[in-house]
Each structure stands twice: as structure tokens, then as C-alpha cells.
Amino acid sequence: MDLKELCKKFKAYAPHVDTSLLEKAFLFSAKAHTNQNRASGEHYFVHCEAVADTLVEFKLDMPTIAAGLLHDVLEDTPVNAETLRREFGEEITCLVEGVTKLDALQFSSQDQAQAENWRKMLLATAQDIRVILIKLADRLHNMKTLNFLDRDHQLRIAHETISLYAPLAHRLGMFELKSELEDLAFQFLHPKEYQELSTKILAQMAGRQAALNSFKKTLEEHLKSSGIPYRLLSRTKSLYSIYEKMNRQNKPFEEIQDALGVRIIADTLADCYAILGIVHAVFKPVAGSFTDYISIPKMNLYQSLHTTVVAATGDLTEVQIRTEDMHRTAEYGIAAHWKYKSGEKDKENPHLEEKLNWLRQWIEWLQDLKSPREFLESLKTDLELNQVFVFTPRGDVKALPAGATPIDFAFAVHTDIGYTCVGAKVNNKMMKLDHVLKSGDVCDILTRKGSVPKKDWLLIVKTARARSKIRHYLREKGVVT
């Protein structure tokens, strides 16, 4: 993609912003990477262009796209931070430095090196969320060109992508990117299974297309007669999510029935629930399949109604219903709200700063972990895609990673409650503090004045918040270092 095309794409969503900075970054990076090639044989700058193009697709701001073009100049060219600061200013230089790897440091092991890279990236992210968006765009293009590397490098990078980068994209609510990263990694980690599944899905789609079209036609007839404005889209599960579901449920592909589905985009919140009523009136809902992520959004801001219904053909079809704003957030996650950095108030999301606060806090808690292995394990746990929703006795809901305990819940409610926790009632029954909580549980934490955290709690808790708070207390008392 050339400079003219990049500027045109940017102008499509930011018509009043001067593109001279973008043009300067483009030409500066192209010159800095002169005579450098990638493993594919392509000129290195092709990678920088691809990263910028992804950031434009996310509709990010000018400094982020400029930093995307420049993200490798400090690491791979003679350009230093002072030159970059003089040419592009503090903001863009900080973004580039946030993305730059720690090659100069000596590590005792690969595990520690990986942990330190993530620690640096997350620390930078705590200051500016755009660093991680550039890093994810960088990883996406690296995954698309992974076939040019040797098998050992392919396996290492694909494993890192599926275990850390894809879950991080999910945590940021960037579902399209998460699915793309997973499918690219899946292709290299399990090539045989990937090929078999691809073939089966293509065959199924051809076979089920007529049934899906019939379902959509019936649905549209009823939606049109209601007079509610809507958009109807088809939805296909990603290959890796189907593969995971097969393994999780121990079922062959033929028994996975919600690989295809539809998404209905409505104008208003009230319309979403009205459409849900129509869907359930026309098609029989599958018991226990309805989830309301509008009333209880996921921690990554995702909102939507999910239900699975039985079509006239007997096929199970998943239906997702959301507003245009929810759809934008579901596609791009936190990237959909890039305006928050420029000081503008997001009129559609007046409490966005508050919503983003969980991410900043979570990153700060992770910084507290001293052991690289513990850091990575805690990171993976907190990136856990499966969440449980647990209620306080007053009806407030707390979202926790699967496997969380009453101690995690206590610290999620308040630090002081965590510190003085001595027991827990779950659904009015006394439970041990290592009890694993489930969605829908009502948890009542019992406290005692003067009670303090115990060292063995570190073996029980799952969340970075609880672990950080316990460690902080014990460190102050000299129990742990």
C-alpha cells in the first residue's frame, strides 16, 4: 500500500486532520530501513506499511499510525531516540520506545526474557493503551509471513501468539483480531488438524447454506413486519474456536452445531430486546443458551445478547443481537474508543475512563510480581477467556477468571475485605477459602477485625489483584521479599 492510499484511508474517518505528520513518518521510516530485507525477501518497509494499514483499519489516531510506521527504527536502524524525539516529538517517541524490544539486556533463560518483554510492554501500556495496539498489529503481520521462517521459529512464535497475544486481544475486546491471530497460529501448531477442519467447514457451509438462507428469510419476514430497523449479518465461528470446542466437549466436528449463525444489528437498546422477543416467538430457544452481556457486560466492554434457537430444519443456530455502537466495540474493542486519548469526551460512553481503569489497575498489579515464571502464569490466568460472574449478597456482580476462589472475590470487592477475610458463605453454605466459584454463585465474605492475609493464600488465589495485594502486605511485614 502506498502513501497516497494510506492517507486516503485515514482521511475517510479523520477528514479534518492534517496528514503531513503521517507523510513524514512514512518517508522517514522507508529511508531508515533502506537496504533491509525480511526473511520473505521483501523490502523491510513492507512490514511497517502493513502495521500502519492495520492501525488505520482500527481507525486509530495520527500519532499511533505514525508510531506504527516507525515502530522498528530504534531496534533495527542507526536512528536513536534523540533523533526520533527531535523529528517527531515526545508522544510518538514514547510509543515507539514502548514497542521496542529489550535485546540489550542479558537474561538467564528464554522464560525470563519473555517475561521481561511482556513486563516492559505492559508497563508502557499502563501509561498508554496505544502501545499494545501497535504491538498487536505488528504481531498480526509477523504471523501472516511466518511461513518464511524455519520450523523452530514458527512453533515458538505461534505458541507465544496463541497463549499470550490472542488472549490479550480478547481481553481488549478485539474479537476479529483475536480470531485471526488464533487461526494463523493454529495453522502452524496443528497443520494436519487445521487442514482437516478447513475442508470440513467448507463442505458444511456449502451444505448448510440453503438451511441458513431459509432461516434468515423467515427471520427477515418477521423483523420487517415489526417495523424495527436492523441489519442482518451471517457469522461463522473461527477454525480455532471450533477446534477448542471439539476438545473441550470431546465431540467430533459433526456434532458441533453452532459453527454458523447470524448477527442482528439494531439502532437502540430497546430494539435489541424487542428483536430478541421476536426471535424467541418465531423459533424455539434452546434451554440455558441465553446470555445477556448487555445487562452484565464482559470486562473488556463487550456487550451483546446471545441465544441459540432451533430452525425449521432442526439445525441449531446462534443469534447475536447488539446495537451499532456495541458492534463497533465488539469488532475493535478498546481501539474503537481511540478518541479518549485526545481529550475528547466520548458522548456515547461517558464512563469510558472508568471502564478502562480495570486494565490499568490489572497491569499495575502484574508489575508487582517478582518471579518471571509467576508473572507469566498470573498473566495467562488473568487473560483467561472463560469468566465467572459472582454476586455479592446485595446483588452486585463481580467478573472473575474461571477457577477463582472466595479470596479472589473478597479482594475484588475491596482490599480491606480481602485483608480481613476469615471465611466465606457460598449460596448460604460455609465453604473453604480454596472453593472454586461458579457463575451465579452468591458469595458472602466473613471478616474479622485484626485478621491478616496468610502466606499460603498465594497458592490459592488466581487473580493478579489478589496476589499483588497479599504480596504487598506480606512484604511490608517482612514475610516475603
pLDDT tens string 87-111:
999 999 988 988 875 333 334 445 5
Instruction: Say if 420 falls within a structural domain.
Output: yes
The last residue of a domain, from among 331, 363, 391: 331
Select from 263, 297, 331 the last residue of a domain.
Answer: 331
For residue 426, is it within any domain?
Answer: yes
User: Residue for cell digits 421476536?
Assistant: 278
Per the domain annotation, does 370 fall within a domain?
yes
Q: What is the pLDDT of residue 231?
A: 93
280 and 374 housed in the same domain: no
Model pLDDT for residues 283-299, shown as the tens digit of each residue? 999 988 898 998 887 76
Does residue 363 sit in helix, strand or coil? helix
Shortest CA distance to 413 belongs to which of 448, 444, 381, 453? 444
pLDDT at 390 over 80: yes
pLDDT in tens, 244-285: 888 888 888 877 766 678 999 999 999 999 999 999 999 999
- The per-residue pLDDT for 90 is 93
Domain stop point among 84, 112, 144: 144
Catalytic residues: 75-76
Angle between helices 110-127 and 130-144 (to 10 degrees): 130
CATH assignment of the domain containing 30:
1.10.3210.10
Higher pLDDT, 36 or 396: 36
What is the percentage of the chain residues whose pLDDT exceeds 70?
81
Q: Are 397 and 364 found together in one domain?
A: yes
The answer as to whether 326 is a domain residue is yes
Quick one: 256 and 298 in the same domain? yes
Q: Is 236 within 8 Å of 205 (Cβ atoms)? A: yes
User: Strands 260-266, 316-323: parallel, antiparallel or unpaired by DSSP?
Assistant: parallel
- At a CB cut-off of 8 Å and minimum separation 6, what does 225 contact? none
Mean pLDDT value of segment 225-229: 93
> Is there a domain that residue 179 lies in?
no
CA separation for the pair 384, 206 (Å, rounded): 34
Specify the pLDDT at position 173: 76
Q: What percent of the chain has pLDDT over 90?
A: 42
Helix extents (H) in 190-314:
191-226, 239-249, 269-282
Q: How far is CA 217 from CA 224, 226, 230, 278, in A?
A: 10, 14, 14, 14
The pLDDT of residue 355 is above 60? no
Identify whether residues 125 and 231 lie together within a single domain: no
Q: Are residues 303 and 423 in the same domain?
A: no
DSSP E strands, 220-313: 230-236, 260-266, 284-285, 291-292, 305-310
Return the H-helix or E-strand segment holding 185.
helix 175-189
State whether 401 and 462 are in the same domain. yes
Let me know if residue 297 belongs to a domain.
yes
Is residue 331 very low, low, confident or very high in pLDDT (cuts 50, 70, 90)?
confident
**Partners of 316 in the β-ladder:** 310
Question: What are residue 319's phi and psi, to 5 degrees?
Answer: -120, 130
CATH code of 426's domain: 3.10.20.30
Task: Kindly report the pTM of this predicted structure.
Answer: 0.72
Asked whether residue 266 falls in the same domain as residue 303, the answer is yes
3-class SS of residue 7: helix
Q: Are both 397 and 464 inside the same structural domain?
A: yes
pLDDT mean over 349-357: 53
Query: What's 247's domain CATH number?
Result: 3.30.460.10
Specify whether 400 is located in the same domain as 314: no
Q: Could you identify the residue written with the cell 492495520?
A: 54
Q: Do 370 and 327 sit in the same domain of this protein? A: no
Helix, strand, coil proportions of the chain in percent (round to 5)?
60, 10, 30
Q: How far apart are CA 121 and CA 131, in angstroms?
A: 7
Say whether both 304 and 273 belong to one domain.
yes
Whether residue 92 sits in one domain with residue 200: no
Residues in the chain: 481
Across the chain, mean pLDDT equals 83
Encoded amino acid at 4, one letter: K
- Residue 471's domain comprises 353-476
Match 474503537 to its residue by C-alpha cell: 336
Amino acid at 173: G
Q: What φ, ψ does residue 61 adopt, rounded to 5°?
A: -80, 170
Query: Does residue 399 belong to any structural domain of this protein?
Result: yes
What is the tens place of the pLDDT at every residue in 416-445?
999 999 999 999 999 999 999 988 889 999
Assess if residue 159 is contained within a domain.
Answer: no
Structural domain tally of the chain? 3
Enumerate residues 6+ apart whose C-beta is below 8 A from 220: 232
pLDDT of residue 340: 40
CB 423 within 8 A of CB 477: no
Supply φ then ψ for residue 258, to 5 degrees.
-115, 35
What pLDDT shows up at residue 108?
A: 44
